[in-house]
Amino acid sequence: NAGVMQNPRHLVRRRGQEARLRCSPMKGHSHVYWYRQLPEEGLKFMVYLQKENIIDESGMPKERFSAEFPKEGPSILRIQQVVRGDSAAYFCASSTSGTGINYGYTFGSGTRLTVV
Amino acid sequence: AQSVTQLDSQVPVFEEAPVELRCNYSSSVSVYLFWYVQYPNQGLQLLLKYLSGSTLVESINGFEAEFNKSQTSFHLRKPSVHISDTAEYFCAVGTGGSQGNLIFGKGTKLSVKP
């Protein structure tokens, strides 16, 4: 039973390019959460999605960032026109329900984005 | 608003020594509390959690944490650490419900030396 799969593991983008980060939740999980970890910081919540719905995007920057979780396929976190400050590790977690917080998420290994 | 404070950014200890990693939280409502461990270049793994009931919770690899409501703390302890415990440890708090997001502390880097 594969865990939460994120790809790519490492991503290098030049300033102004687009970054696409993918997250395949655990089998049977329909709730996905994205977090960002800046250097020397803890994880910060970004967005919570169910299939085809954004439930809570209170942690998403207002511009350049978007997320989706289509009916089929992985969840995608998209960052347009990346800047150096976007360099961070981006983690995805999944759960079977919105109360996955009660039991602790299952996290993926993350995508480490470097903007040069 | 909720917040989590991990008082020590780095904790160096010798192998087989005891260790305590401190975590304090603030919240106006009932909380769930978690400790996660992150090994270098890996994702976070759930170490242990407090949801309700007994205030002392244990993990399978010898760590334990005690929920202290009056002191709003959830410190992590291990009586005898191993080299393999070297990692970064994150304390997190959540309040359940349908929002689902956790608030994380900044992490404590535990370095176990021989």
Chain B contact probe: residue of A6, A46, A101 with most B CBs at under 10 A = A101
Q: Token match 């080299």: residue?
A: B83
Interval B65-80 mean pLDDT:
94
CA distances, B92 to each of A13, A42, A105, B86 (Å): 31, 9, 11, 19
Characterize the bridge pairing of strands B103-104 and B87-94. Answer: antiparallel
Chain B contact probe: residue of A9, A43, A103 with most B CBs at under 10 A = A43
The answer to whether B4 touches B94, Cβ cutoff 8 Å, is no
Residue of B nearest to A45 (CA): B101
**CA nearest to A99, candidates B77, B102, B66, B98:** B98
Tens digits of per-residue pLDDT, A39-69?
Answer: 878 889 999 999 899 988 989 999 999 999 9
| pLDDT bracket for residue B98 (50, 70, 90) | very low
Tens digits of per-residue pLDDT, B53-71?
Answer: 788 888 878 999 999 988 9
Q: Token match 């967005």: residue?
A: A47
